[in-house]
Amino acid sequence: MPRPLFIALIFASVLFAPWWLSLLLILSGIIFLDFALESIIAAFVIDMLYGVQLSRAIDGPFVITLIALILFFAKRILKPYIFINK
């Protein structure tokens, strides 16, 4: 899938699709794209639109953004050891 089409799809899903579908697109972008900064921006937008503070799990409103950042940097660190056929 071309990158501009993926960006349009991910931001349309943030606005019009359920949060879990947007989260799946964000995760697929982090996994399959080389530098998926738009996935982190989309996670931030999801947190700004739909996020609530979770007092039990993490004391902060940016849970999806935090998860996206952790996965983004984990992929960047582990990229030499991960083999994904394209």
- Biggest CA-to-CA distance, the chain: 40
Cα–Cα distance measured from residue 48 to residue 60, given in angstroms and rounded to the nearest whole number: 12
**pTM, whole model, 2 decimals?**
0.74
In a domain, 86, yes or no: no
Cα–Cα distance measured from residue 32 to residue 45, given in angstroms and rounded to the nearest whole number: 21
In a domain, 40, yes or no: yes
b/e per residue 29-58 (b: at least 16 CB within 10 A): bbeebeebebbbbbbbbbbeeebeeeeeee
Total domains in the chain come to: 1
pLDDT of 85 reads 63
Cα–Cα distance measured from residue 5 to residue 56, given in angstroms and rounded to the nearest whole number: 37
Domain that holds residue 27: 3-81
pLDDT digits (tens, 9 = 90+) for 38-84: 888 888 888 888 776 555 555 667 788 888 888 888 888 887 777 76
pLDDT digits (tens, 9 = 90+) for 4-33: 888 899 889 988 988 888 888 888 888 888
pLDDT of 12 reads 92
